[in-house]
Amino acid sequence: MTISGIVLFALGGIITLNNICLSFVRYPIHRARGGDRETYRWVSGIPLFGSLLLWISIGLLPSPALKWTAGILSIFDTGGIHWFAGTMLWMSLFGNRIRGGIDDR
């Protein structure tokens, strides 16, 4: 069980770090290299799997430090179901005001 927990932790961590890089790091690097928004090619990460693998690994990891690391790392996975749910909630509460529409509340 310990080996499978570590393998799931490693795979989930790699996918999560890839999603973080694609969401937060790649565009600023493109801008710093002189690129503009029109020439930037947006790419999607791998949804759901990174945080899911990390959540499963929490129950299989031997060390509390690794369990906490997996849990904290999964929070930052922008491809996770929790980010989707949070985004949908945010847009349902504040999306109309952000887009400049009429708020009928």
Provide mean pLDDT across the span 26-33.
Answer: 92
Cβ contact 43:18 at 8 Å: no
Q: Which residue has the higher pLDDT, 47 or 72?
A: 72
> What is residue 96's predicted lDDT score, i.e. its pLDDT?
67
The model's confidence at residue 9, banded by pLDDT at 50, 70 and 90, is very high
- For residues 71 and 54, is the Cβ–Cβ distance under 8 A? yes
Look over the chain and give the mean of its residue pLDDT values, rounded to a whole number: 88
Report field, pTM of the whole predicted structure over 0.85: no
16-44: average pLDDT: 90
Report the pLDDT averaged over residues 79-98. Answer: 84
The CA angle 92-48-20, to the nearest 5 degrees, is 85
